[in-house]
Amino acid sequence: MIVNTITEAKSKLSALIEKALTGEEIIIKKAGKPVAILIKYESHKVKREPGALKGQIEIADDFDELPSDIAGAFGME
């Protein structure tokens, strides 16, 4: 569905939202040019699990130490 003005979209917002909930895509125009699309919001389908990479990532023992050339560039040596 195409809505030709923002004023029209504002006056019919509730009806447009109902159409979007059924899966219809609503294109809103301003000055004859499409500027927005109103679609149904879909939440993330995959639930993230903390610790999914546990045991697969290693951090080097010297991770927090700056190499001497970089430390020197920052005046830390």
> Which amino acid appears at position 17 of this protein?
I
**Which two structure tokens, joined as six digits, stand for 37?**
């699309």
d(CA 55, CA 40): 39
pTM: 0.56
Q: How many CA atoms lie within 13 A of 61 on its CB side?
A: 0
What contacts 35, CB < 8 A, 6 or more positions away? 6, 28, 29
The pLDDT of residue 68 is above 80:
yes
**Rg for the chain (alpha carbons), in Å?**
26
Q: 9-67: per-residue pLDDT in tens?
A: 999 999 999 999 999 999 999 999 999 999 999 887 888 889 989 999 999 998 888 88
